[in-house]
Amino acid sequence: MISEGVNLEKDKKALLEAALFMSPDPVTLNTLLKISGIESRKEIKDLLDQIKQEHEVDTKGIELAITQEGYQFKVKDSYIGQVSSLTPHSDLTDGMLRTLGLVALRQPMAQSQIVKIQGNKTYGYIQKLEKKGLITTEKVGRTKVLRTTKEFERYFGKSLNDIQENLRLVIGDEADQQLGTEVPDEGLEEDSGIENTEDQAG
C-alpha cells in the first residue's frame, strides 16, 4: 500500500510539472512556491531536481532548463528541428515578430531605422528579443546595430537564408519602400524618443 506521504509528494511534483508546462516563460522559485503551497525552499528544490533528473533520460523529449530567470521546460535540441513547425511561437507578440522579421531581412540593421517604422514600442520589443537570445545588439555611434543569432535559426528550425526568402514574400516589398535596399548611413544617427521598458512592449 502506498503511504499518504508518498502520494502527497507525487501530487506536489505533478503540480510543479503542470505549472512549468503551462508557462511559456521561465518560472521563478518564488512563483512555484506560491502555486504549489510548499513552504520549504529546500523541499521544492529537491522536487525540481527530481523532475530535472527524470527528464534527462534519452526517452524524454523535453528537459528542465534552469536559468537566471527561473525554471522552464524546453524541447531538447536534438528534437527541436523536427517539431518546431508545430508551435505558433506564441511567446512572441506580433510586434516582436515584426521587429525580428525586419532584423532578419535587413541585418545588420540600425535600431533607429526600426523605430522610424514601428515607433517607440520597438525598444521594448528589442529588449525582449535580446533577452530571449534571438538577436544581438552592438553600440555603433549613437544607436545600436541589430543582428540575429544562431539561437534565432534554432528557434524557427530553419536556416537564415530560408527564413529570409519567406520574409521577402511577406514584408520584403514594404521594407523596400521604407528602407531601400540597404541600411542608409543615417541609420546610425541618434535614436529619437526614450527607450521604453519591457512592460511597455505589447
My answer on whether 97 and 142 are in the same domain is yes
Q: By residue range, what is the domain housing residue 154? A: 87-179
Q: Give the model confidence (pLDDT) of 11-68 as tens digits.
A: 888 999 998 888 767 889 999 999 989 999 999 999 999 999 999 988 889 999 988 8
Grid coordinates representing 143 are: 544607436
Q: Taking CA 102 as the corner, what is the angle to CA 99 and CA 103, rounded to the nearest 5 degrees?
A: 85
CATH number, domain at 48?
Answer: 1.10.10.10
Of 38, 65, 80, which residue sits at a domain end?
Answer: 80
190 lies in some domain: no
My answer on whether 73 and 91 are in the same domain is no
Which pLDDT value is given to residue 175?
47
| Helix%, strand%, coil% for the chain, nearest 5 | 60, 15, 30
Grid coordinates representing 154 are: 534554432
Cis status of the peptide bond prior to 108, with omega within 30 of 0: yes
Which pLDDT value is given to residue 156?
80
| Overall domain count for the chain | 2
Tell me which DSSP letter residue 195 carries.
P
Q: Which ranges of the chain have pLDDT less than 70?
A: 1-9, 24, 84-90, 168-202
